[in-house]
Structure 1
Amino acid sequence: MSNSQALNVAQIANNLSGKGIRWSIKNLDKCSSTNSEAHEIIKRNPELKSKGLVLFTEWQSDGRGRRGGKWESPRSKDLLFSIALCPGLPQKHWSRLTHATALGICQALSTKFKTKIKWPNDIYIGNKKVAGILVESYPSNNTGTVIIGVGINVNSTSRNFNSNFSVPGTSLRIENNEEPLVREFIAESVLCAIHKEIEQCKNNFSKLLIQIEELSVIIGKKIQVTLPNGKNIEGKVIGFGDEGELIMETVPESSNGTETLEISAAHEVRLL
């Protein structure tokens, strides 16, 4: 199969079903954003929420990442998808799904690539970003909906990466000596691993956190964190909290000692 052909979602769905994963899988030729479109589909077909919906697209005009950034990808080269589901967790634990997804992507790609996690939602190979995650939640009086948006650079080539990007990018193809990969195989492996880690985050999140720490690119490193209110904090990462919060050791301006901070949300994380 040519890497520029439309994704064969029937093949993916069939193989996942054989492994006991019953998510409904759809593919669009184009859309503005898979997260936005998946949310609309769930609103029109609420029964899909309990089953789980995976929505792929060949191209999106307004793909977005955290911090309002834009996720750009050439048509039919990469994997752009959203998973919409009922989280099966109390709302206070929904942030676990970002960590479960990050771990799942790394686990799926680890047979061929040395991937790492930059807390909380970026996947790196070396010092370059290969995948990103955007989780959006819609609480309700009953179960609520969580939509997990994923972009994985699969068959993009070096000319697809803008030198003006704030973070250097790469693709699996580039890291595979420019040999293209079969997107269906990557999609199936990633979805299986994400499904597994979502179950683990419900039943054994402490084990998942240990695995996250082992794959982290920032543990033990000095970083600058920009908080949602715009404040910048510098410090050394010493670990993660019970719900995956970032734990930093900082030196306050008004003190000669150190202070330990626990950060659950950040606008940006930058290695120093």
Structure 2
Amino acid sequence: MNQALLDILADGQFHSGEDLGSALGVSRAAIWKQLQKLELLNIPLHSVKGRGYRLPDAVELLNHEAMAAHGFPSDAFASCELALSVDSTNSVMMQKAESNTTDRHICFAEMQTSGRGRRGRQWLSPFAKNLYFSVLWPFSQGIAAIQGLSLVVGLVVHKILKQHGIQAAGLKWPNDILAEQGDHLFAKMGGILIEITGDVTDNCQIVIGVGLNLDVSVQDQAHLDQQAIGLKQLGYSRGRNYLASALVSELVTVLEEFNEKGFAAFQDEWNQADCFFGKPLKVLLPSGHIDGVGCGVNSKGEYQLKTQSGMQVVNAGEVSLRLSGEA
């Protein structure tokens, strides 16, 4: 009943307990119990005596039928979960990986209570405003065969955004999707989180997490430690179900190509999307930093930096790229 209740509340308008009960064919007491369950899931609900209950804003909930209508590749996955609230979609898929070695699975969530970014950072995940999903994808050639995977996933997002008019979209090594806001000014639109389990020398399972901002409010920005922006603020007007279907369809196609060809086949395309190519950079290391000019990635997906002492190559590890002058 939770989903049916949310389908009614998704318009952002007030609905009385009596009206909700009538629409769902249950008592007001049953409605109240379901609302309590939603609150336990940390789903934001507003209640006003005499007016009823509502979500803070009108939202488009993810829906299997709507996604299928937009061409979602259901046949590519053994299961597709649409969760209301989870700690993180990556955690859900990592748990599934414990008993899965060959099948592909995908999990979307309307919200995450402990969404994660790179290096353990929190990923803000408000209810039904953005896209949060993770794919469990088995690889049979060990960890060496997935070098550059996060870059390829970023390219998938970048391609779909460009196709839908987000011309400001660009990529930041190794796993960020940015929007250019002016000379040397960028706002974060999304990120990729790759996790690995299984035999790193043979059959392993890769969890690919994608977070993409559709709508970042002033209130959301107050909780973030860096500038962020949503697709809505950049002119995107299509729905969440449409975007989810477009992204995953392209992701399935590209992952199958990556499995055959590796990252080298995508190197040039990634470098064309690199926000920092040709710009003065500072690479932060655990032991200090390196200054240089961004020169894109090599065929292994490692970042290249032209320094006073020559070309230097860095890999993801505990490394962060910053434009010169950034903190």
State the shift of 1:218 in Å: 1.1
- Residue 133 (structure 1) aligned to one of 192, 199, 217: 192
d(CA) in 1 for partners of 2:242, 2:141: 29
Which position in structure 1 is the counterpart of 2:15? none
d(CA) in 1 for partners of 2:210, 2:296: 25
Which position in structure 2 is the counterpart of 1:149? 209
| Residue deviations 1:167-187 (CA, integer Å, cap 9, x gap) | 2100011111xx754101110
d(CA) in 2 for partners of 1:270, 1:11: 40
Question: Quick one: which amino acid aligns to residue 170 of structure 2?
Answer: K
Kindly report which structure 2 residues correspond to 1:44-193, keeping only aligned pairs within 5 A, or say none.
Answer: 44=99, 46=100, 49-111=101-163, 112-114=165-167, 115-126=169-180, 127-140=186-199, 142-162=202-222, 165-176=224-235, 180-193=237-250
Q: Which moved more, 1:23-32 or 1:112-121?
A: 23-32
| Residue deviations 1:180-233 (CA, integer Å, cap 9, x gap) | 541011101111122222223233433311100000011111111122x34311
- Residue 40 (structure 1) aligned to one of 90, 95, 99: 95
Q: Which moved more, 1:77-86 or 1:190-199?
A: 190-199
Which position in structure 1 is the counterpart of 2:302? 245
| Residue deviations 1:130-189 (CA, integer Å, cap 9, x gap) | 011111111316411111111000133343212x6342100011111xx75410111011
Question: Quick one: which amino acid aligns to residue 79 of structure 2?
Answer: S
Is the contact between residue 78 and residue 154 of structure 1 (CA under 8 Å) also seen in structure 2?
yes
| Residue deviations 1:11-43 (CA, integer Å, cap 9, x gap) | 42572337x634531111111111111111232
Which position in structure 2 is the counterpart of 1:8? 63
Question: Quick one: which amino acid aligns to residue 118 of structure 1?
Answer: K
d(CA) in 2 for partners of 1:234, 1:168: 23
Question: Quick one: which amino acid aligns to residue 196 of structure 2?
Answer: S
d(CA) in 1 for partners of 2:268, 2:295: 13
d(CA) in 1 for partners of 2:162, 2:141: 28
- The answer to whether the aligner puts 1:260 opposite 2:311 as a matched pair is yes
Which position in structure 2 is the counterpart of 1:199? 256
TM-score, L = length of structure 1 = 0.86
Matched residue of 1:51: which SS? coil
d(CA) in 1 for partners of 2:305, 2:61: 44
**Runs (5+) with no aligned partner, structure 1:** 252-257
RMSD: 2.2
State the shift of 1:10 in Å: 4.1
Question: Quick one: which amino acid aligns to residue 80 of structure 2?
Answer: I
Q: Percent identity?
A: 24
State the shift of 1:100 in Å: 1.2
Is the contact between residue 155 and residue 180 of structure 1 (CA under 8 Å) also seen in structure 2?
no
d(CA) in 1 for partners of 2:104, 2:133: 13
d(CA) in 2 for partners of 1:142, 1:201: 17
Which position in structure 1 is the counterpart of 2:281? 223
Is the contact between residue 157 and residue 173 of structure 1 (CA under 8 Å) also seen in structure 2?
no
Is the contact between residue 103 and residue 197 of structure 1 (CA under 8 Å) also seen in structure 2?
no
Identify if the C-alpha distance between structure 1 residues 139 and 263 changes in structure 2 by more than 3 Å, giving closer, same or farther: farther
Which position in structure 1 is the counterpart of 2:84? 29
Query: Quick check: which has more Rg, 1 or 2?
Result: 2
Is the contact between residue 93 and residue 243 of structure 1 (CA under 8 Å) also seen in structure 2?
no
Is the contact between residue 96 and residue 243 of structure 1 (CA under 8 Å) also seen in structure 2?
yes
State the shift of 1:81 in Å: 0.8
Is the contact between residue 158 and residue 174 of structure 1 (CA under 8 Å) also seen in structure 2?
no
d(CA) in 1 for partners of 2:65, 2:148: 30
TM-score, L = length of structure 2 = 0.73
State the shift of 1:261 in Å: 1.2
Question: Quick one: which amino acid aligns to residue 128 of structure 1?
Answer: A
